Structure formats: structure tokens, C-alpha cells
Amino acid sequence: MVGVVGSAGSGADEASMPSAAPGGVRPESLEESGAVGVADDLRRLWVPHRMVYVSDHHQPGEHDCPFCAAPERADSEALIVARGEHAYVLLNLFPYNSGHMLVCPYRHISNYDEATEAETSEIAALTQTAMRVARSTLQCDGFNLGMNQGAIAGAGVASHLHQHVVPRWASDANFFPIIAKTKAMPQLLGEVRELFAEAWPRP
Ligand SMILES: [Zn+2]
């Protein structure tokens, strides 16, 4: 159980958005198909001034880690957009916004400073490509990029490093999702994965 303490703030600069998808396909059904993501009740990214209390929050080990298991599955099942040599890109099953990608090393490491030079270099390159692909396909106006390091910092799966790439649009920030805890996801996850995978440049 993850709780958020503090006021909602203006919300104007937040990448907060819950996980519901429209059109009758719920994230749960995709999860059953093998897709993975970062589930938490935080709903917000990069608000370090807020205290987050975490209890009974299981952090997976290598043997039950969704980000270790995803590359073993088919791309379409695991919502994988692209695979590199040391890291890969998948859609977040619990997106804060449309096109929310996660860039993960294959290795089960928690912190960015544990990553090798090859891993950090490829995470950086994949992040850049993810931005270009999202910009060209979804015409987004900006991005939130970042890593939550540790459960206390808001990481849903703190035990396996992942970089968030969250597309933003000028019109996506409003009070409704903060108050109502719901937001229409304009495109289904599977469709977005296909769109991104097709637009991803071939080496
Ligand atoms: Zn892992």
C-alpha cells in the first residue's frame, strides 16, 4: 500500500495520471497476458517534496521481477517496443500518460550508479530514440524523463532500474485527473506499442 501525504498542489507541472484505459481493455487484462509495468498508487512523478509512506510493499527479487521476465516473452505480450544489447524499452502497463515508456537494463540492478558504462550509454541512447519516436508518432509537445530511485522515492518496482519517458501535451494537464483519479487514455496500449515498434529506427 502506497499512500501520498500532502496537498494536491496546482498540478500544472505534474505527470500524474492513473492507469485506466478506455475502450473496454483494462490494464489488468493486459497484465494477465504477460505485460508488465510499474503499479503504484502514487500517480505522480517527481514530486520529491511530498512524503510517501510505504508499507507491505513487496519488492521483487530476480526470480519474480516483471522487468527480468518481460524480455523472455514475445514483444507484443510484454509490450516491448525495442530491444538493445544491454537494455530494452517497454510500455508502462500503468501509464501516467499516453505513450509512457520505460527504459530498463536487462540486468536486475536497483540503482543508476550500479549500471555499467555500456548500460548507462544504451539507456541514454534508447531514451533519446524513445523521445524521437514518441514525438514523430504522437506529436507530443514535451516529456517528463526520470528515475525514481528506491521505494521511498516513488519507485513501484524499486529493485529493477527503469527510466520513465512520459510524453506530455499542452492540453494534458488539468485538474480532472488529480481530483477524479481517472483519465481517458486516448489510445490503447497494444496499439501504441505497435505504433512505436514500427516507427523505431532499425539499426
Ligand atoms: Zn529484475
Domain ranges, residue 58: 2-199
What's the angle, vertex CA 2, arms to CA 174 and CA 59, rounded to 5?
A: 125
Q: With bands split at pLDDT 50, 70 and 90, how would you rate the model's confidence at 187?
A: low
40 with 94: CB under 8 angstroms?
A: yes
Compute the distance from residue 106 Cα to the ligand 1 centre, in Å.
7
State the average pLDDT for the chain: 75
Who wins on pLDDT, 21 or 93?
93
Compute the distance between CA of residue 134 and CA of residue 190 in angstroms, rounded to an integer: 15
How, if at all, do strands 142-146 and 101-105 pair?
A: unpaired
The environment of the single-atom ion ligand 1, i.e. residues with CB closer than 5 A, is: 65, 67-68, 108, 160
Who wins on pLDDT, 62 or 127?
127
* pLDDT for 71: 97
Domain count, the chain: 1
pLDDT at 126 over 60: yes
CATH number at residue 130: 3.30.428.10
Predicted confidence (pLDDT) per residue in 145-165, tens digit:
999 998 888 888 889 999 999
Predicted confidence (pLDDT) per residue in 89-102, tens digit:
999 988 888 899 99
162 is catalytic: yes
Residue 165 DSSP SS3:
strand
